[in-house]
Copies of this chain bind each other. A is one copy, B any other.
Amino acid sequence: MKKHLVTVDIVLFTIRERNLHVLLIRRLAKPFENCFALPGGFVLKSESLDEAAARELREETGIEKVYLEQLYTFGELDRDPRGRVVTVAYYALVPPTHTLHSGTDAADAAWFPVDKLPALGFDHRQIVEYAHHRIRNKLDYTNVGFELLPEKFTLTELQLVHEAILGGPLDKRNFRRKTGQKGIVEPTGEWQRTGRKPAQLYRFSS
């Protein structure tokens, strides 16, 4: 009766060469054959939504052990040419060190700059934009960049993460003043002495 196809789609972000990138796969199967799309696929009867997202990511890209956060569920009537498909989208921000493997349904998996995406199948461009919007908003009140930074980091390293996610340069003095007000990070009392001048090391406040 009122049954629906349910999929999961995964928006995986990383920062490469100071720019925010998103992981896409080239589809081998119809619809949108040869188009790029997000990794994802049908939810099986025997798995939770979280399990489905982890499995699809592993099968299509070889990436494992990523903490995926649920983003939003998209259920417009015309979003999939195969008929009514409800998709539960997930996202994560990961270090760029993952090695990519292609799976059975996907020819190539590759990182693309978020501001230079190819044509995407389904409503996946909208899903990427919503995920980008979410991490941009979270910058202000969470430790959203923590996966990308070492446990102790300098404010310059933190600023580079913010610049990549926001897509442009920030004024150093303003960035430091606002970061201090928010209380998301705290000084560790230690200093990094590898650069020209020593830089204070910070960590995310618990």
Interface, chain A (partner B; CB < 8 A): 2-6, 42-50, 70, 72-73, 75-77, 84, 86, 88, 140-141, 181
A73 near B88: Cβ-Cβ < 8 Å: yes
Interface centre among A46, A48, A49, A73 (most CB of B within 10 A): A73
B2 near A2: Cβ-Cβ < 8 Å: no
B73 near A2: Cβ-Cβ < 8 Å: no
Measured CB to CB, the nearest residue on chain B to A77 is B48
CA distance A5 to B3 in the complex (A): 5
A2 near B49: Cβ-Cβ < 8 Å: no
Interface centre among A3, A5, A50, A77 (most CB of B within 10 A): A3
Instruction: List residues of chain B with CB within 8 A of the CB of A42.
Output: 2
CA distance A45 to B85 in the complex (A): 10
Contact of A46 among B48, B70, B77, B181 (CB under 8 A): B77
Measured CB to CB, the nearest residue on chain B to A8 is B75
Measured CB to CB, the nearest residue on chain B to A73 is B73
7 A/B residue pairs, CB under 8 Å, sorted by A: A6-B6, A6-B75, A49-B73, A73-B88, A75-B88, A86-B86, A86-B88
Minimum C-beta distance from A47 to chain B (A):
8
CA distance A84 to B43 in the complex (A): 11
CA distance A151 to B4 in the complex (A): 42
B141 near A45: Cβ-Cβ < 8 Å: no
Instruction: List residues of chain B with CB within 8 A of the CB of A47.
Output: 77
Instruction: List residues of chain B with CB within 8 A of the CB of A77.
Output: 46-48
Given contacts A72-B70, A73-B70, contact A86 B6 (CB under 8 A): yes
A44 near B2: Cβ-Cβ < 8 Å: yes
Minimum C-beta distance from A95 to chain B (A):
27
CA distance A86 to B4 in the complex (A): 10
CA distance A139 to B166 in the complex (A): 24
Contact of A43 among B2, B48, B49, B140 (CB under 8 A): B2
Minimum C-beta distance from A136 to chain B (A):
13
Minimum C-beta distance from A16 to chain B (A):
30
